[in-house]
Amino acid sequence: MGVIIVQKTLKKGDKPISKITQCALQKEAVSSLYLAELLNLSVDKKMFREDFDLEEGRNKLLSSPLIEDAKISFISEDHILVKYWHVNAMALIGDFNNVGIDREGRLFPIKPFLSPKGLVKIFLGIQEVVEGGNISFFKEKNRWVFAKKVLEDLYALEMKGRITSIDVSKIEELSLGKNELIVTVDFIERKDILRLSKRNYLNEVSQYCILCDSLKNEKGTKMIDFRSDGVAFIERF
């Protein structure tokens, strides 16, 4: 009597990839669903370990404007670990809807991936939208360089958390009456709109800080023009 031997040969793992553990090396993290979409992983299209190329997966993650660097490894045959560094938003570009910018000038969507909370809106006066994920492609790129310096200077003066917007759209105006840097400072019951000069804004902000002591009990919105040396013109709304 002959013996029939049945040999089971598996070309692929028994379990398709079904789990993602992520490790974001910053405080905020993007969703695992978003990572799965980037990696083309879904319950409808099974992917086994043998078919998953780690380097190709990393390149897919890097195609996202949100991710600066990434590393993928297997925890088990159906479970991958994704370590990544995502962009850090420095501000929002007020000329667009839902667009953030980092220190290097890279542009990327904020919601639903990151939180806009606490981010200052920067208005550059962008006239024409161009393709490209970096502010360097825009003719207003020099305004961003200046706005970034203003923001860093204001943070150095411990104004972080109070500044809600910076408008540099008119810093190249030839008319002295129109040339201005506008900074909006928000308090709980008071909003101060500062009209500052491009060259002397730091001294003018220092004057504002001194003036704040006399304004601390006021409510509502006011515009304060510091562009005339030694004089502050206050308009209340």
pLDDT tens for each residue of the chain, 237 residues long: 445 544 444 455 578 999 999 988 777 678 888 999 999 998 788 889 999 999 999 999 999 888 989 999 999 999 999 999 888 899 999 999 999 999 888 899 898 888 888 999 999 998 887 776 788 888 889 999 999 999 999 999 888 889 999 999 999 988 888 899 999 999 988 999 999 999 999 999 999 998 988 888 888 999 999 998 878 899 988
> What does the pLDDT read at residue 134?
83
Other beta carbons within 10 Å of 98: 12
> What does the pLDDT read at residue 11?
53
Bridge partners of 234, per DSSP, are 224
Of the candidates 162, 180, 174, 72, the one whose C-alpha atom is nearest the C-alpha of residue 123 is 180
**Does residue 179 contact residue 170 with C-beta atoms inside 8 Å?**
yes
- Give the global pTM: 0.81
Distance CA(161)–CA(156), nearest Å, equals 12
The residues near 172 (Cβ < 8 Å, ≥ 6 apart) are 143, 179
Q: Where are the beta strands (DSSP E) in 94-216?
A: 99-101, 107-109, 120-123, 163-170, 180-186, 190-196
Of the candidates 39, 43, 33, the one whose C-alpha atom is nearest the C-alpha of residue 53 is 39
Domain 19-86 has CATH 3.10.20.310: yes
> What does the pLDDT read at residue 142?
93
- In the chain, what are the domain boundaries? 19-86, 91-236
> What does the pLDDT read at residue 12?
54
Q: In 70-85, which positions are buried (b, 16+ CB within 10 angstroms) versus exposed (e)?
A: bebeeeebbebebebe
